Structure 1
Amino acid sequence: MDTNTAAADALRATMIEKVRKMGFAQRPEVERVLRSTPRHEFVPEASPDDAYNPYQAVITHRFSDGASLSCASAPFVVAMMLDQLDVRHGNRILEIGAGTGYNASLLAELAGDASNVVTIDIDAEVTAQASRALTAAGYDGVRVFTGDGAAGVPEHAPYDRVIATVSPWDIPRAWWEQLAPGARLVAPLRWRGQSRGVAFTYTNGRLVCDSNELSGFVYLVGDDEGELSGPITHDEAIKLHWDRDQVVVPEALHGVLGEPRSTVWSGITVAGDEPYDGVWLRLTVTDPRVCRINAPADIPAEVCDPIQAGRSPVLVDGDSLAYLASRRRETGSAVRWELGAHGHGPAAVYLAEHFCAEVRAWSVHRDQRKPQLVVYPASTPDHDLHGTIIDKTHSRFVLTYDNGRRRDR
């Protein structure tokens, strides 16, 4: 074994150790393929340290508009999605978003036959690069297509497993039609401004979620008709993002951040490495006003100070809003962060207090208790649905707590 190979093997072993400590690559077969596949060969422009950094995606191609990119997803995300997908030997697999070809090589190993894997990407440069990498690594049997991922690849359907490494706002009709009975679908879906890696089993004509994790990916090209956005500051620096079925009028909020701030603290704290995304997920079930506020990191805190720059939940009600915030709290040597809300506009106090009530309700079970998500075809009538309904173009998302009860408090 030469020195470079030994160094790559050591970096890969360290990567897997860290990924497993995060709670991913829990399936033995997923750990096995991550351990045996040389990720650095699919991202030759990256240093070995970057290629095997468990938290880092490696950008490999930027599209002509400069707004989107193709990359090798961070290893912990790859492991998370493969755990969710639960590939079995002999499965037929469709991958939406070819990337570098690395993920397709892992899928080929899991399926036991490279010809069982079909991958598609809309960008010809991306598919050409993925094909070259797959062939060089010995996976030339993987079928690589250039085309619209939303259309899938019907000529090789039906599929036992479908995985999207781009983020759709909806589940396209073609994906529904290309699923085999009992198939699993894993995709980073978007609703109410958030993005979550969701795993479904296709059963009785519907998709039943059994895994739901925070996730973020490049958007599926052309799948943007359902998510809207607009600035709420005159310089257009701060924006809201919401779904088309929500009533949000950005013009009504112009200047609202210049009005006095009303802040309410919840009394609920989290450690620096403790997730709080369940607050946002909960609000997608309990409050139809929740969406996303995007405030760049260079915006002064006195103007807008969300818990996470660019991606934080916000409640919008006419000419008022309140968004999730945090403050440092120290008890002896322990440092924690208290969750709260900053509100602006005539209903600022009400919205901030309501936000904190939702934080407290979430905190009872934290992320050990997530809502159930079931996705139905768009033609499903209302009387067959029970819970919070979010309508898309091709499907209807239904979220519930406690067997259909909308609220758990």
Structure 2
Amino acid sequence: MTEPNTPQELRNRLVDHIVKTNVAGLYDPRVEEAMRTVPRHDFVPRASLDDAYANQAVTIKDNPDADALPLSCASQPDVVFFMLAQLNIQPGDNILEAGAGTGYNAALMRCLAGPSGRVTTLDIHEDVAAHARQRLDNTGFTDVRVLTRDAAIGAPEYGPYDRIMATVGIWDLPGTWWDQLSIGGRLVLPLRWRGLTRSVAFVKEADCLRSESVATCGFLPMIGQDGEREGYVDPDRSIKLYWDADQAIQPLSLRQSLTEVKEHLLWTNVAVAPDEPLDGIWLRLSASDPATCRITVRPEAFTSAGSLHRPAIPALSPALVEGDSLAYLILEPMETQGSKRYRLGAAGYGPAGAELTQRLCEELRAWHLDRTLPPSITAYPGGTPDEKLASGHLINKPSVRLVITY
């Protein structure tokens, strides 16, 4: 078979792959048509054609700090696809985008909104906004409005909006967006909490935003939001925690418990296949246990003598932390007939390590009963009285109160 080499052939191959794999279980034929039409390579001119049409993010603005994430990227195409499916743009919609990036996403939204639709895209970086403006002009999308400003401000002068999309990770929902989104309108954003990120599609009601779908994603964090914390436990900087500002987590308080390595292991009868995602476990924990956070462990911390038990995913594992005690997700291979499986459990350390492993394993068993069940997330403006909140697990942030339920 001849390898595709024209931009259109490469574009069709990429979209064919996205539609076939359907990673988030979300599909919109109009989004498929738009992605087959808009030339992504024209929005990332520094990338080769093969890279422009690979299912991967493309950096467009590097970070001067070599150890930090890039400042701006073109999002991975399959994530672009399912987030636009979540947004469910209709002809004539007025749309606001937070995070202009390359301008590619704005061009897709402009296609979906039709001749009577309007798109405004914002970026805090002047050079990123200028790049998006140039690329949109060069590809014929001259009527897309590009503004250089903090996306948290929004663009009230061009609202109200039927759709708002954020293409940067959002920890706290800006209050301005509440006012600029129409009742019945949709807000799709990569929402960050407890060390994880999910693309959540909200529909606005009179007093809240109610989730319609939740999908796994990863995005650079929005500049100016400082509610996320991170810190090393050990002096060798091999064990790191990620948590939120409302959690009383002090990594250094765990140092003695982990040095002593008095381990509490608890295994369940829950097993997974090698390629089965574990994201739902983390979601379950975040919807039930206020101690939920993320742990990252470098290999030397679990391969040397007297070391920690290896986390299920060393770079990205859910954990529970209370005071000087910690528990996190672990796995081990099982003896099975004909297929490889892994048993799940928890490793705990510190005075409350055994209790924390019990709590984590309870949520493992709850997840096992329905592994694909998504949570319901309801967002209320900050200051909403408790009696007006839905029942469920509450997470408070400065501008929003999140209630997560299963």
Match of 2:15 in 1: 16
Return closer, same or farther for 1:171/1:255 CA change in 2, 3 Å cut-off: same
Match of 1:404 in 2: none
Return closer, same or farther for 1:349/1:188 CA change in 2, 3 Å cut-off: same
Deviates further, 277-286 or 20-29: 20-29
Match of 1:314 in 2: 319
> Aligned equivalents of 1:31 and 1:299: distance in 2?
45
CA-CA distance at 1:76 after TM superposition = 0.8
Deviates further, 63-72 or 133-142: 63-72
Match of 1:349 in 2: 354
Q: Deviations over 1:171-213 (max 9, x none)?
A: 1011111111211000011112211110000111210001011
> Aligned equivalents of 2:16 and 2:300: distance in 1?
35
Contact 1:373 1:397 in 2 (8 A): yes
CA-CA distance at 1:307 after TM superposition = 2.1
**Letter matched to residue 174 of structure 1:** T
> Aligned equivalents of 1:119 and 1:311: distance in 2?
32
> Aligned equivalents of 2:339 and 2:380: distance in 1?
46
In structure 1, list runs of 5 or more residues that go unmatched.
Answer: 402-409
> Aligned equivalents of 2:341 and 2:54: distance in 1?
27
Q: TM-score with structure 1 length normalisation? A: 0.91
> Aligned equivalents of 2:359 and 2:107: distance in 1?
48
> Aligned equivalents of 1:36 and 1:96: distance in 2?
23
Return closer, same or farther for 1:5/1:313 CA change in 2, 3 Å cut-off: closer
CA-CA distance at 1:110 after TM superposition = 0.4
Match of 1:247 in 2: 248
Q: Any idea what SS the aligned residue of 1:331 has? A: coil
Aligned residues: 396
The counterpart of 1:339, out of the listed 333, 341, 344, is: 344
Q: Does 1:191 align with 2:232?
A: no
Contact 1:185 1:200 in 2 (8 A): yes
Return closer, same or farther for 1:49/1:320 CA change in 2, 3 Å cut-off: same
Contact 2:26 2:86 in 1 (8 A): no
Match of 1:61 in 2: 61
Q: Any idea what SS the aligned residue of 1:212 has? A: strand
Return closer, same or farther for 1:266/1:222 CA change in 2, 3 Å cut-off: same
User: Residues 67-106 of structure 1 correspond to what in structure 2 (within 5 A)?
Assistant: 67-69=68-70, 70-106=72-108
> Aligned equivalents of 2:328 and 2:198: distance in 1?
19
The counterpart of 2:204, out of the listed 202, 205, 226, is: 202
Deviates further, 59-68 or 184-193: 59-68
**Letter matched to residue 130 of structure 2:** A
**Letter matched to residue 86 of structure 1:** N
The counterpart of 2:369, out of the listed 331, 349, 364, is: 364
> Aligned equivalents of 2:32 and 2:243: distance in 1?
37
Match of 2:157 in 1: 155
**Letter matched to residue 320 of structure 1:** S
Q: Any idea what SS the aligned residue of 2:295 has? A: strand
Q: TM-score with structure 2 length normalisation? A: 0.92
Q: CA RMSD in A?
A: 2.0
Q: Any idea what SS the aligned residue of 2:340 has? A: strand
CA-CA distance at 1:256 after TM superposition = 2.9
Deviates further, 284-293 or 158-167: 284-293
In structure 2, list runs of 5 or more residues that go unmatched.
Answer: none
